[in-house]
């Protein structure tokens, strides 16, 4: 008999202050599939998204309106959004890098967008070929127009804990950049450990630095990579500080091309095993998620890096 039929994981709440409910911000269909070498057919993406929604996930980052020259894997953004089986109570945010991307997003009728920025000067320079000031000059018209159109805007911040050229990143630097994004009109910051180097004390310190400057935990989400095996431990540290939105990727799809290994996003299934064990509500069904990710892994022709998917679908 399998662990699931035996009632595992057992539900045992932690004794100290974890949130009663966590919002899982699923990034697999966008952040995961944008890194695939061969383009995934739009019909497969649509079925994957619908399987994840059917599994109970309520925030599905669907695609990106980045220029197809940079990310050909997501050149089908319009076709994908047109074909989406929109379910009640599910948000389908999309990534928008610039005004041209916003035009496309508005034409496609999206109601929730995200912009993607760097917390450090060096990564801004290397990844976006701009300074942090240039980055904000680019964001400003995007966020302002999006807000005027009634859209909700999330701000991603990458390299919040370590930068592949600078090394450690100070929490003050991250809060400075994060504040500018919130002042522009972002409703939430997703604090990314893009190269996966953070440990639990850093996570606590960064959240404390935000709250110490009057920015509440409700404005914060965390986005951890498992490159050094720390993603879920860092999540526990963030939850203990009251953060209740966690980014993850179904099946552990995706990763950062700047990281030193292929190990990427926190896997949604590993997060859900953890949340289920602690009795924290999230609305998703673990077995349906495992089944969706195992299906996707078959389409991609390689095993999922999620330990839970490997254990249960193996």
User: What positions carry a catalytic annotation?
Assistant: 256
* In the complex, minimum distance from the CB of residue 230 to a second copy, in angstroms, rounded to a whole number: 6
Helix, strand or coil for residue 115? strand
Parallel/antiparallel/unpaired status of strands 167-168 and 162-163: antiparallel
Give ∠ CA 5-10-12 in degrees, rounded to 5: 165
CB nearer a second copy, residue 175 or residue 232: 232
| Contact between 233 and 225 (Cβ < 8 Å) | no
User: What's the number of CA atoms in the CB half-sphere (13 Å) around residue 257?
Assistant: 10
CB nearer a second copy, residue 47 or residue 204: 204
* In the complex, minimum distance from the CB of residue 92 to a second copy, in angstroms, rounded to a whole number: 27
* In the complex, minimum distance from the CB of residue 202 to a second copy, in angstroms, rounded to a whole number: 5
Token couple for 291: 């089944």
* In the complex, minimum distance from the CB of residue 206 to a second copy, in angstroms, rounded to a whole number: 9
CB nearer a second copy, residue 135 or residue 202: 202
DSSP 74: G
CB nearer a second copy, residue 34 or residue 194: 194
CB nearer a second copy, residue 4 or residue 86: 4
Token couple for 16: 């100290």
Parallel/antiparallel/unpaired status of strands 188-193 and 167-168: unpaired
Token couple for 108: 């496609």
**Residue 280: CB atoms within 10 Å:** 19
Residues lying near a second copy in the complex (CB under 8 A): 1-3, 6-15, 161-162, 164-168, 195-202, 204-205, 208, 226-230, 232-233, 235-237, 259-263, 267, 270, 273-274, 276-279, 306-308, 310-312, 314
CB nearer a second copy, residue 152 or residue 285: 285
The DSSP bridge partners found for residue 188 are 154
Residue whose C-alpha is closest to residue 66's, from 38, 100, 35, 97: 97
As a three-state string, the secondary structure of 210-262 is: HHHCCCCHHHEEEEEECCCCCHHHHHHHHHHCCCCEEEEEHHHCCCCCCCCCC
* In the complex, minimum distance from the CB of residue 10 to a second copy, in angstroms, rounded to a whole number: 4
* In the complex, minimum distance from the CB of residue 207 to a second copy, in angstroms, rounded to a whole number: 11
């Amino acid at each position: 008999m399998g662990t699931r039929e035996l009632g595992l994981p057992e539900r045992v709440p932690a004794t100290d202050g974890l949130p009663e409910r966590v919002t899982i911000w699923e990034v697999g269909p966008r952040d995961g599939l944008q890194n695939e070498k061969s383009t995934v057919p739009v019909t497969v993406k649509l079925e994957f998204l619908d399987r994840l929604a059917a599994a109970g996930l309520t925030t599905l980052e669907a695609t990106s309106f980045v220029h197809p020259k940079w990310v050909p894997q997501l050149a089908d953004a319009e076709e994908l959004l047109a074909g989406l089986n929109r379910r009640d109570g599910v948000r389908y945010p999309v990534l928008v890098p610039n005004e041209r991307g916003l035009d496309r997003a508005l034409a496609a009728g999206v109601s929730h967008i995200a912009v993607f920025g760097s917390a450090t000067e060096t990564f801004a320079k290397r990844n976006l070929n701009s300074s942090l000031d240039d980055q904000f000059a680019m964001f400003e018209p995007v966020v302002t127009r999006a807000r005027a159109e009634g859209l909700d805007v999330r701000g991603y911040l990458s390299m919040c804990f370590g930068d592949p050229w600078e090394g450690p990143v100070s929490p003050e630097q991250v809060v400075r950049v994060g504040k500018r994004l919130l002042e522009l009109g972002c409703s939430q910051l997703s604090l990314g450990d893009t190269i996966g180097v953070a440990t639990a004390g850093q996570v606590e310190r960064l959240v404390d630095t935000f709250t110490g400057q009057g920015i509440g935990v409700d404005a914060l989400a965390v986005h951890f990579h498992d490159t050094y095996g720390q993603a879920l431990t860092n999540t526990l540290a963030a939850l203990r500080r009251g953060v209740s939105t966690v980014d993850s990727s179904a099946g552990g799809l995706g990763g950062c091309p700047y990281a030193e290994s292929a190990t990427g996003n926190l896997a949604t299934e590993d997060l859900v095993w953890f949340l289920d064990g602690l009795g924290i509500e999230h609305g998703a069904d673990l077995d349906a998620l495992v089944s969706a990710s195992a299906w996707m892994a078959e389409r991609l022709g390689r095993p999922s890096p999620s330990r839970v998917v490997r254990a249960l679908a193996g």
